[in-house]
Amino acid sequence: MVVRFTDNILNNIEQGGFITRQRIPKSLQIAAFFVVAFILIALASYFSNGRQENLIFFLFLFFIIAGLGVANYSFITIARRHINIAEFQNAIFASAVQIDTNFCMVMYKDGSIVYINQGFQDMFPAFMQTDSRTVYGLFKAENFPSHIQTQILHALEKNIHTELLLPLSDIHGNIVNIAVKIDAINRPFGYFIMRGKQNAFSHAHQ
């Protein structure tokens, strides 16, 4: 069983941010390597007319194949462990950056989007229906005002902190101002985090 992070609410019944995956036990996977190798060698031996020298060769080949299989599985296990560590660190990061915000997004200085949380997906449904994963696609899909686009792109270009009010329409047709902060991430260089929180005192009816 492996723990894996997900932001997908539909597949996360407990709402805990983590789901589990079931895998075949390690002992059974290793045994499967030996069984498959044995069957292949036995078939090859059967069609070789049962010569003793061939049997010795096939027996040696059996241990070679099975050993390579076990070694390959060990490498895969190590790789999975590193992936799980990275996923856990990403889970902690994702949970931390969205504290006291309605949405958060991580983007690169060229405008490409590298991370969005569930709040972002809920707040910008038109963008989620497109194939674009850049801020330019976000601007177009959600009809960002030109001065807001300029402020965001200026922050990316100059690597500076920026705060702005983003006007969005809610499901009732009201204009809701979202207080947005854009901060440059120190390391790795060139990445920015954009966080938004609804301003409770900024509703205006259309």
CATH code at 151? 3.30.450.20
Instruction: Indicate yes or no: pTM above 0.85.
Output: no
My answer on whether 153 and 84 are in the same domain is no
My answer on whether 138 and 75 are in the same domain is no
Q: Return the pLDDT at 161.
A: 94
pLDDT in tens, 49-84: 656 666 677 777 777 777 777 787 788 778 877 777
Q: What are the beta bridge partners of residue 203?
A: 176
Report d(CA 104, CA 146) in Å as an integer. 21
My answer on whether 108 and 131 are in the same domain is yes
Cα–chain center distance at 187: 19
My answer on whether 179 and 111 are in the same domain is yes
Of 45, 78, 96, the domain-final residue:
96
Q: What is the mean pLDDT of residues 42-48?
A: 69
Q: Which residue segment(s) compose the domain that 70 sits in?
A: 2-96
Neighbouring residues of 146: CB distance < 8 A, sequence distance ≥ 6: none
Neighbouring residues of 9: CB distance < 8 A, sequence distance ≥ 6: 15, 118
Q: What angle do CA 21, 18, 3 make, to 5 degrees?
A: 40
My answer on whether 113 and 88 are in the same domain is no
Cα–chain center distance at 48: 51
Average pLDDT of the residues of the chain: 78
My answer on whether 74 and 165 are in the same domain is no
My answer on whether 110 and 196 are in the same domain is yes
